[in-house]
Amino acid sequence: MINSKDVKPQLQQGYVKLMMDVIGRGLVMASQVDHEVKSEIAGFPANFTFSMKVFPNGPQFVARVDDQHRLSLVKNPQEKPDLTITFKHISHAFLVFSFQEGTAQAFANDRMVADGEISYAIRLVRCLNKMEALILPKVIADLAVKEYPKNLSLKDKLSGAANIYLKVAQSYFKGIA
């Protein structure tokens, strides 16, 4: 396993920036193809915005739930999001995004904070966990999520992952998310 102290801050910054983009896009696409993620997103109010970022001005993504409860990324947010998940340091984000520490463990270790209603933060973490369980190999997903879904068959995992990866790749080619 890579020790985050051995990775230069500039490399951590670049890696976390890339992963923030991939995770933001992946979450949007997972909300289109996975019924559990779609159901969780439907539980947010219309026009709800959330972000994940690194303190103080590090990489981030912002997403909004529209009136039809579809999720999309927001390029230039004008207002403060309803929920913000903030990593306290780039090295903390690197630990999570390099799958050395799960999201729940990072919260427990006080490496990240939620600014907003805690029930929405929990809902967002469930979405992130399901997306990670779908797109990551099981051995890595086991490190990333608190509990790997017991009812996730190999067929569902491969189908969901393929759909999400295809849509993420298309979003880069089309310049959308």
pLDDT digits (tens, 9 = 90+) for 78-100: 899 999 999 999 999 999 999 88
Domain residue ranges of the chain, discontinuous segments joined by +? 4-168
pTM, two decimal places: 0.85
pLDDT digits over 165-176, tens only?
A: 888 888 888 866
Residue 22 corresponds to which amino acid?
Answer: V
Tokens of 152: 């996730």
Query: What letters, b where the CB count within 10 A reaches 16 and e where it falls short, cover 131-168?
Result: bbbbbbeeeebebbbeebeeebeeeebeebbebbeebb
Lowest-pLDDT range of 61-70, 76-85, 120-129, 155-164: 155-164
What local confidence, expressed as pLDDT, does residue 2 receive?
A: 61
Give residues with Cβ within 8 angstroms of 173, minimum separation 6. Answer: none
Mean of the pLDDT values across residues 18-30?
Answer: 94
CATH class belonging to 4-168: alpha beta
Residue with tokens 């207002």: 79
Look over the chain and give the mean of its residue pLDDT values, rounded to a whole number.
Answer: 89
The dihedral over CA atoms of 128, 134, 138, 141, expressed in degrees to the nearest 10, equals: -10
